[in-house]
Amino acid sequence: MIQRNDWRFGEFGVRPVRVANCSGYHGDPATEMYNQATLGDVDFITGDYLAEVNMANNAEAYAKGEHPGYENTAWQGLQQSLDVIAQKRIKVAINGGALNPGGLATKVAALVWYDLKVAYVSGDNVLPKLGTQMPTQRGQALPHLDSSNRHVTLTSESFLFAQEDRQAREIVSANAYLGAHAIYEAFQRGADIIICGRVSDASPVIACAWYWWSWSSTAYDELAGALIAGHMIECSAYVTGGNFAGFDAFDVDRFVNPGFPIAEISQDGTCVITKHPGTGGMVSVDTCKCQLLYELQGNVYLNSDVKAYLDDIIMEQVGENRVQVSGVRGAPPPDTTKLAIFYKGGYEMQLLVNATGYAVQQKFSLFEKQIRLFLGEEAAKALDILEFQQIGVPATNPQNQNSSTVYIRLFAQSTSLPALTAINGAMRHISLRHFSGFHSSLDFRAATPRPYLAYYPALWHQSDLEERVHFVDECGTTESYDTIRPPRFEDLSQRDSYDTRTPAIIDSSLQKVRLGDIVLGRSGDKGANLNFGLFVHTQAEWEWLRSYMSRAKVQELLGDDWRLEFSIERVEFPNIFAVHFVVYGILSRGVSSSKRLDGFGKGFVDYFRDKLVEVPVSIFQNLTCYLFLPQTETSAVTPKNTGFTPHQHLNRPNMDTPLHPDADGAFPMNREQFRTYERAAGFFKLLTEFKITINNMYTDLEQRTVTMLCSSEGILAGDPYGTDYVFVLTMTEDGKKIEKLSEWPDFHKVKIVLNKSVQ
């Protein structure tokens, strides 16, 4: 029975709904739920506690009665927050129920002595239907998540379980990713606190907006907008400054304790991403682009209730720590959802051995030959994986031994425990036969074989799901309801993958720079696949990036990481100057069993941004960017020929140290200061040293123009292409020049154009 809604009377379905996030994984502090409830006004609190492997890690212990099955931080957060949740009538939807949403809901209901209704969602656990063993033949396996993607050739590692000459692998957990409709129906029936197991990360946010705006189940554009709003805030601080590639342009103190995000979702599905005032971190177009590009599936984002098309997505800074997201289109969902199957993969181990200084490659080659010799053929044949990885490169002319030290990582997996222990036996055989300078830590715990879980992402038909909503009272009495499935499904079309269709003609000389001096980005994992997105800030930079960064170029830049069995998918988001890639198969079988040191793929984009690329010099001669300055700062008057703090004018706290003029009235900066200053203004050049002279800085308010003359003796590693530049600041709001200071809003847009000066 649908409940009459008196909640938020006069506001419900009228103003944008404020949905806060309190968790991005089970390790986020439980106190963040309380913080989100108390530091400002919100209507809903949502939380994502589940990485892909969370549930599997606890499945055996839960089955034995040695683990509660739910995430403890979810329980702690609710314990700490129930009073304020009841007082402020905040509704909650979280997936912290994990393997046992009913158990957590029962505990919460017993704790609640307020007029709050507690419910939980079931139906994600399909292990009883699937059975307890993986097939020993590939043809008997459920369809792989990427099986219908014509761009992908599934690697043999994806099907290591399918070996007829070995014992069938035991399945530990099998959970389907549920959508938002069950949560929405629970809200419709009056639920205040909803506990879920495995739902897709954004589903709680979709459900909150769906309920608030009373959308129909076919309002696909609106639902798609809410899906992306959920994607933007699901990873907690990842949109407010955590994992932010551009953090080095700011004072590091700003990112010590970023606040958690809030999505303000409007009736049309567009949203504004923000955070509570006074909390750390920042919400900017750059932090939002980074989060959008994190763990994407390409230009189509799939959910059990809707597909979101991202090709035309737009992001705009609309105030301090406020970014509007729009341009998302929706369509009916597919009739399948992802099924995360975890099975016992066997055992794994790793050895870490250090080498220093000279001839490290020869040292590691000798080490590998010795291990393979003393391991023996029989043990080697029983290994599924045996890899020798060199981690790091020794510094040239090192200043200390640590900077001269790198290590070799021996990584092995097998269903045979004796085969792995034979590796330790081989180490004992090497003994004092080791290479020159061999050393290691005395902590050898990682060399002891341990069980590991392997991941197989499959497709599961939504029609085979049995989703239900259950209401629990303080006595543990349960009342259950079936849920309604999506009214329409739409087959998945082939995924887009293309190089730019109209490459720009670059009529300029080229200069080699590090990609990260121009490009920001983010990377992450989706099972065996790694995704990463790259973006720039100006039209000129975009013309270069979309033309230069093709699939072939990415393959080339991957270097030794590339394998023939991998494949690359590429799409563009032109409104945010971004290209997005998926590298299929590079993470082996996923984070729980990946042989890569960076199994989550989080560090990949910063490695990629460290590559040298060829960039047109013209990009550095004509740059346009946008930043926001508070009115109180623009109205400040800086006396001529006295020190000034760039932070006061550029709203960038990393430039807190005042600059003082030299005898000529110029302001000297070193290389690092200038690079910081550039990034604050959106410029990404490499200059060694220069002087900047400020003429009438903010003193001629009627003229609305500030002229800064810069000179540099060395540009781009000593290859000068000019010395004098002019920065022209024009004060505008929405493209219209502001004639009077009184007309300026609290935050106005400043367009900065850098042109080469003709002197």
pLDDT band at 55 (very low <50, low <70, confident <90, very high): confident
φ, ψ dihedrals at 426, nearest 5°: -65, -35
**The predicted structure's pLDDT at residue 550:** 98
Neighbours of 618 (CB within 10 A): 17
CA distance 602 to 599: 8
pLDDT surpasses 70 at 425: yes
At residue 619, the 3 state secondary structure works out as helix
Q: Are 472 and 109 in contact (CB under 8 A)?
A: yes
More confident residue, 525 or 709: 525
637 vs 184 pLDDT, higher one: 184
Query: At residue 376, what are phi and psi to the nearest 5 degrees?
Result: 90, 155
Quote the DSSP letter at residue 188. H
- For 150, 550, 553, 629, the CA distances from 499, given in Å and listed in that order, are 16, 5, 10, 37
**If you search the block for the tokens 């629990």, which residue do you land on?**
472
| pTM, full prediction | 0.83
Pairing of strands 450-461, 478-482: unpaired
Find the helix packing angle between 181-188 and 203-213, rounded to 10°: 40
Separation between Cα atoms, residue 722 and residue 716, nearest integer Å: 11
**Average pLDDT, stretch 256-280?**
98
In degrees and rounded to multiples of 5, residue 523 shows phi and psi of -135, 160
Contact, 78 vs 92, CB < 8 A?
yes
pLDDT higher than threshold 60 for residue 754: no
Q: With beta carbons less than 8 A apart as the criterion, state whether 181 and 305 touch.
A: yes
User: Taking the CB of residue 241, how many other CB atoms lie within 10 A of it?
Assistant: 26
Residue 350 pLDDT: 96
At residue 548, φ and ψ (nearest 5 deg) are -85, -45
Please report how the helices 417-430 and 360-375 are oriented relative to each other, as an axis angle in degrees rounded to 10: 120
Which has more confidence, 618 or 107? 107
User: Confidence class of residue 35 from pLDDT cuts 50, 70 and 90?
Assistant: very high
- CA–CA separation, 507 and 558 (whole Å): 27
Q: Which of 334, 608, 341 is nearest to 495 (CA)?
A: 334
**pLDDT for 4:** 56
**Looking at residues 584-595, what average pLDDT do you find?**
86
**Is pLDDT at 668 greater than 60 in this prediction?**
no
Are 731 and 744 spatial neighbours (Cβ–Cβ below 8 Å)? Answer: yes
Which amino acid, 422?
A
* Helical (H) or strand (E) element with 205: helix 203-213
291-299: average pLDDT: 95
Q: Residue 658: pLDDT band by 50, 70, 90 thresholds?
A: very low
As a whole-number percent, the residues of the chain with pLDDT over 70 amount to 81
Number of other CB atoms surrounding residue 374 within 10 Å: 18
Local confidence band at 706 (pLDDT 50, 70, 90 cut-offs)? very low
d(CA 721, CA 670): 19
The lowest-confidence range among 77-81, 151-155, 557-561, 649-653 is 649-653
| Cα–Cα nearest to 652, from 672, 675, 679 | 679
And the tokens for 122? Answer: 């079931």
In angstroms, the CA 103 to CA 114 distance is: 19
pLDDT at 646 over 70: no
Chain segment 378-419, per-residue pLDDT in tens: 999 999 999 999 999 999 999 999 999 999 999 999 999 999
- Diameter of the chain by CA atoms? 84
Q: Comparing 563 with 680, which gets the higher pLDDT?
A: 563
Q: Is residue 740 over pLDDT 60? A: no
CA pair distance 323, 229, nearest whole angstrom: 11
Rounded Cα distance, 19 and 200, in Å: 16
Poorest-pLDDT segment among 159-168, 232-241, 243-252, 645-654: 645-654
CA atoms within 13 A on the CB side of 18: 16
Confidence category of residue 589, pLDDT binned at 50, 70, 90: confident
318/323 Cα distance (integer angstroms): 6
Q: What is the pLDDT of residue 507?
A: 80
Runs of H (alpha helix) within 245-334 = 285-292
Among the residue ranges 21-25, 218-222, 246-250, 681-685, the one predicted with the least confidence is: 681-685
In terms of Cα–Cα distance, which of 510, 488, 463 is closest to 613?
510
Burial 717-754 (b: 16+ CB within 10 A, else e): eeeeeeeebebebebeeeeeebeeeeebeebbbbebeb
Out of 35-39, 69-73, 96-100, 316-320, which region has the weakest mean confidence (pLDDT)?
316-320
Residue from 546, 500, 525, 662 nearest 590 by CA: 525
Please state whether beta strands 44-47 and 91-94 pair in parallel, antiparallel, or not at all (unpaired): parallel
Q: What's the CA gap between 72 and 62, in Å, rounded?
A: 13
**CB of 487 within 8 A of CB of 465?**
no
Minimum mean pLDDT range among 91-95, 178-182, 443-447: 443-447
CA separation for the pair 699, 739 (Å, rounded): 15
Q: What is the 3-state secondary structure (H, E, C) of 531-586?
A: EEEEECCCHHHHHHHHHHCCHHHHHHHHHHHCCCCCEEEEEEEHHHCEEEEEEECC
Q: Which residue has the tokens 């061999």?
A: 438
Q: How far apart are CA 464 and CA 668, in angstroms?
A: 69
Residue 401, Cβ neighbours under 10 Å: how many? 10
Q: Which residue type sits at 328?
A: V
Looking at per-residue pLDDT, the higher value among 697 and 445 belongs to: 445
Dist. CA 410–CA 151, nearest whole Å: 32
In sequence order, what are the beta bridge partners of 271?
Answer: 265, 325
State the pLDDT at residue 700.
30
Residue 334's alpha-carbon distances to 369, 606, 727, in angstroms, are 51, 34, 51
Q: Is the pLDDT of residue 432 over 60?
A: yes
Residue type, 530: L
For residues 674-679, average pLDDT? 42
Look over the chain and give the mean of its residue pLDDT values, rounded to a whole number. 83
Rounded to whole angstroms, the Cα distance separating 174 from 564 reads: 31
Q: What is the pLDDT of residue 697?
A: 30
pLDDT band at residue 165 under the 50/70/90 scheme: confident
